[in-house]
Structure 1
Amino acid sequence: MRKRNSKDLLTRATGRFYTHEFIGRRLADVVVRTAQLEGRRSVSVIDPFCGDGRLIGWFLEAVSKRDGARPRMWSVELWDCDAAALDTARKRVLETAAQLGVEVEVETVLGDTFAHAPSRFGEFVVCLTNPPWELLKPDRRELDQLDEDVAREYVAQLRQQSSRLVEYYPLSAPRRRYAGWGMNLARAGTEVALRLTANDGVCGVVSPASLLADQMSESLRRWVFEEYVVHDIAYYVAEAKLFDEVDQPSVTLVVSPGVTSHSPTMLVVHDRALRGKEVRFSEQEWHSLRSDGYVFPLQFGPELLGLRSKWDNLPSFADLEGESQDDLWAGRELDETGHRRFLGDKGDYLFVKGRMVSRFRMCEAPSQYVNRDGPRIPSSADHYRLAWRDISRPNQRRRIQAAIVPPGMVTGNSLHVAYFRDDDLERLKALLAVMNSFVFEAQVRMRLATAHVSLGVVRKARVPPLNDRGLTAELAQLVARCEKGDEEALTTVEVRVAQLYGLSHEDFALLLSAFEKVEEEEKRALLTSPAWRCPSVGSQQLAR
């Protein structure tokens, strides 16, 4: 066993990703353009998670290029929990100021920013930072290499830190915590930065892109967009590879306290070559974003926001769920952790992994059983279920991979499952047709910021009513053909579902244009399908 200091481990658990120069310089430029600096003799500036001080250095360089009168003195504070990084940051800021002929005073604070910050809320005219990007929880790999006493102390310190963060920064606390963990330091760090900013100040923050898209960040997002003016949002794709050792999509925000963001905010999307594209939202699109918890379509489809009116009045996937006999149940079945110890050649239920499921069919037959003395089999395994993969990378051609899993098989948690309590297989196949469609996937993709197609995101997607027997029969028949690889059926079912959503031919063409990995030949086949000339049973019913 290795003996390591629990404080060192705590520092590692609250680590960071250093800011790429392109991101940092652009952020600093926007902050300087936004800040109200005229008429001030001295300006207070802080980076509460300063690392090596690069953001404040770039900020001073941006200030030196600004036209007009500038403050004579910059009072800079640098905070960090890493003594070596803090010393580097101080030297860097002083050297940059000397090179630029800028007069600065630099104060450093070594310690826990999250604990120190509440006594300084509202003090700084400029706050510029990149908070740590970590989920606060113990690393099992670290614990396995520690002496028992050190491991116990480490976990205790993390729990104490987590409880303190929830108390100090409730807007950043997750709605659900697993085994008592779940506090995201990037969220909490963003809340810290905004609270440190003075009423007449400006704040610039670097964050994982999930801040603007995931469910856990909704409370914080609403606070930001409804209590602050958001001047600038920039998004950087993971493929730009802007952070060492991790491919992570990121965003920057520049905000000022005091006035709500009633008007649309512009988004600048940067591709892998760091070319920026401006995305401007109409008042209707901004209203749609606001009503959806300010979930921004970062990775996919900002140009499709106008189509939301086509499906916003339809029931959601979550509306199908309930306790009645004909309602839907959705969830996960078995935890796959350590699955080799409970799988074997004999048993009552075959075990299905995520990789075995593809669109409309199982691409690999399961061959191992759950041992009879293994984990308890949930009752859902006795039903026909719709199953879809949890893991699905953003750059995949189609992210939703869903098929029907029969009774007698049980799924691992790399799959989500759903079934109708009355075992209406025809209706379940109709739901599968909807879920595997471009229209459903577009809705889901517009809310995704990670490589997971979570049940929470799927629940928010809208679904056309599936109560008409003629409609469900038609879709079920098409699905039966899709399961056999019938290309004509695969095309027809897409058109039928688009019609059910009320999309015109032009609407569908716009939606398909957002799927960059889908070949033009397939798009042409979809748009020239004879199915457009023959309304479905369901669309005729809806029209009446």
Structure 2
Amino acid sequence: MQQNLFDGHWDSNQESTDKSSFPDTACAISNRYHESRISDAGQQKARAKSLGQFYTPQTVSNSISNLIVNNLSNDKRTLRILDPFCGDGRMLESIAEKITQNNVGKIQKLELIGFDIDPTAIKEANDRLDETRYRIGNEVELDVNLTMEDYFLRASTPVQADICVTNPPWVTLKATREIASPNLSYVNLLNELYPETTGTQRFAINLARVGFAAAARSVHKGGLLGIVIPLSMLSDIASENLRKQFLKEQTIERVETYPSELKLFSGVDQDFCTIVSRAQSSPDSPLNIVRNMRNGESSVEYYTSDEAFELFGSSYRIPDLIGKEANFQLKQFKSFPPLAAHTHVRIFREIDETRVTDRFTKESDWKFIKGKLMKRYTIDLQALPNIFLESPQRFKGLHSPKVVWRDVARRSQHRRIHAAVVPPRIIAGNSLGCLSADNLGSSALYYYLGLLNSWSTEFQVRALSNTNHVSTSIVKLLRFPEFDSGDKLHISLVESVKKQIASTSDEHQEAVESAVLKVLGLNYDQLNIMKVGLDRA
């Protein structure tokens, strides 16, 4: 059970935990945390990373602002516009200018409200919006009110705006378990204030999720929200409760995705997306997704409410796959069992690589392998160091061959999955995932190796994970037919994989892909749909 927010933070002489005193306590926790972060940040680049400051590219701000302006449907003479994490004020600037440019004389005043915990950012935002006021002139009155404050603390009393535009901090806050830790106190505070954002790690919290929740609470019914968030939040399990809560109260007007290869954010190698929504529930509304691709082109996907529910479910777990056909293609894999359910198949990790070189010795017969020591289908056994193992019997995968694959796999790589078979007496570091198929015979390993190195795995991994890792938990979810030594198609795949392993080039890779398609009952047109979905066609 999670510790009560007030435990450990109140004076011991206080007789009750009256929540009328809660804001003062929350402010103290917030101040202590932010003082430690800002003082530790040092130079500007480190400071920005520490605080999660990654300012929105102008093209992205303008895209959000244009869509919001096109969806304005009120006759108000004054609009209240909020950015709860305003940084240097560029998103407030963009929306103010777009509204002014499209104003037909009805709107006379814009109240621009911003919050940030960084005094330098507040000053920059004030200067920027002063310049905006000068450019706009007398067309619309700008009333600017910027405050240096932790907006997260306004969980129960958020500003109620007509429009909220924001890019919350992109940082995962990990806390030590020491009672006096500023991080632990702040993590506990935010988990209490925003329970829908709590992930699987009790001592960590993703501030982008908390910012999303805070922004959604800050728009009155019928108002509009425009937000920039990491793309992973559209599909990761940890954000599922947040998405469900969001969809109870909001209707998405548009989702737009951006791959990291476009390099729109300076110093950020991460896919991201924007969401524009209206603060009212409308279950029958369609869903529009704009997918920006690596080559600068874009595609638009339109889903009816029934199609969106069929493909993405009630939590709108939206895979990062380009094209409507790709998302329907993904559904076909659901007829197969996940690898975690395959009989005699075990998916696991072996040893931690921390200071592993301290255990290297030529006097041992055991060998060690990590991600950098392997390629697709091949391993240079002569390059593997020998390692001392104190209790080798406790490693079940050490005494038989196994499939290993690289855990670290950047989404920008043309092929992310690098898997190979390693013989017995080799232990894998935790930069590798492992799969064994004991009791199924050696052919089973070649079968699973072919599946893992196929485009079908690339396709499913992309749909399941928005990170730069191919974890064991993700591989357990991959759906394929169980190995059957009596199935001619399965044995054909095994033989193609053996030829590829024996080759010094990729000459048999196409034969492996063809054999995988036959095992899955798919054709080359469907393979092309998967490659298009991966932006690899």
Work out the CA distance in 1 between the residues paired with 2:54 and 2:426.
42
Counterpart residue number, 1:157: 182
The correspondence of residues 445-456 of structure 1 with structure 2, limited to 5 A, is 445-456=462-473
The letter of the residue matching 1:186 is A
Where 2:346 maps in the other structure, the secondary structure is: strand
State which of 212, 224, 240 in structure 2 corresponds to 1:202.
224
Work out the CA distance in 2 between the residues paired with 1:84 and 1:512.
45
Counterpart residue number, 1:228: 250
Greater displacement, 286-295 / 43-52: 286-295
CA gap 1:94/1:451 in 2 versus in 1, 3 angstroms: same
Counterpart residue number, 2:149: 111
Work out the CA distance in 2 between the residues paired with 1:314 and 1:48.
45
Work out the CA distance in 1 between the residues paired with 2:40 and 2:85.
15
Residue pair 1:297, 1:446 contacting (<8 A) in 2 also:
yes
Residue pair 2:85, 2:166 contacting (<8 A) in 1 also:
yes
The letter of the residue matching 2:129 is V
Kindly provide the CA deviation profile for residues 205-252 of structure 1, in whole angstroms up to 9, marking residues without a partner as x.
011221223332222233334542100111122122112222222211
- TM-align CA RMSD: 3.0
State which of 425, 431, 446 in structure 1 corresponds to 2:448.
431
Counterpart residue number, 2:461: 444
State which of 423, 429, 437 in structure 2 corresponds to 1:412.
429
Asked if 1:268 is matched to 2:286, the reply is no
The correspondence of residues 103-252 of structure 1 with structure 2, limited to 5 A, is 103-120=141-158, 123-137=160-174, 156-177=181-202, 180-181=203-204, 183-252=205-274
TM superposition shift of 1:285: 4.9
State which of 63, 69, 81 in structure 2 corresponds to 1:26.
63
Q: Which runs of 5+ in 1 are unaligned?
A: 140-150, 321-325, 519-544
CA gap 1:94/1:441 in 2 versus in 1, 3 angstroms: same
Work out the CA distance in 1 between the residues paired with 2:237 and 2:536.
27
CA gap 1:412/1:136 in 2 versus in 1, 3 angstroms: same
Residue pair 1:187, 1:217 contacting (<8 A) in 2 also:
yes
Residue pair 2:340, 2:346 contacting (<8 A) in 1 also:
no
Residue pair 2:165, 2:225 contacting (<8 A) in 1 also:
yes
TM superposition shift of 1:488: 6.4
Asked if 1:498 is matched to 2:517, the reply is yes
Work out the CA distance in 1 between the residues paired with 2:393 and 2:175.
28
The letter of the residue matching 1:247 is D
Residue pair 1:346, 1:368 contacting (<8 A) in 2 also:
no
Counterpart residue number, 1:311: 333
Work out the CA distance in 2 between the residues paired with 1:449 and 1:15.
19
Counterpart residue number, 1:46: 82
Q: Which runs of 5+ in 2 are unaligned?
A: 1-33, 42-46
Work out the CA distance in 2 between the residues paired with 1:86 and 1:406.
59
Where 1:206 maps in the other structure, the secondary structure is: strand
Residue pair 2:465, 2:474 contacting (<8 A) in 1 also:
yes
TM superposition shift of 1:364: 5.6
Work out the CA distance in 2 between the residues paired with 1:261 and 1:94.
41
Asked if 1:385 is matched to 2:402, the reply is yes
CA gap 1:248/1:347 in 2 versus in 1, 3 angstroms: same
Counterpart residue number, 1:481: 499
- Identity in percent: 27
Work out the CA distance in 2 between the residues paired with 1:421 and 1:347.
25
Residue pair 2:82, 2:114 contacting (<8 A) in 1 also:
yes
Work out the CA distance in 1 between the residues paired with 2:158 and 2:532.
49
> TM-score, with normalisation over the residues of structure 1?
0.82
State which of 267, 277, 294 in structure 2 corresponds to 1:255.
277
Kindly provide the CA deviation profile for residues 35-76 of structure 1, in whole angstroms up to 9, marking residues without a partner as x.
3332x2322221110111111011100001224343322222
Number of equivalenced pairs: 493
State which of 110, 113, 138 in structure 2 corresponds to 1:77.
113
Kindly provide the CA deviation profile for residues 117-146 of structure 1, in whole angstroms up to 9, marking residues without a partner as x.
43226x11111111011111269xxxxxxx
Asked if 1:510 is matched to 2:535, the reply is no
Residue pair 1:348, 1:372 contacting (<8 A) in 2 also:
no
The letter of the residue matching 2:153 is A
Work out the CA distance in 2 between the residues paired with 1:270 and 1:510.
17
Work out the CA distance in 2 between the residues paired with 1:202 and 1:517.
35
Residue pair 2:96, 2:110 contacting (<8 A) in 1 also:
no
TM superposition shift of 1:186: 1.0
Residue pair 1:351, 1:412 contacting (<8 A) in 2 also:
yes
Residue pair 1:310, 1:502 contacting (<8 A) in 2 also:
no
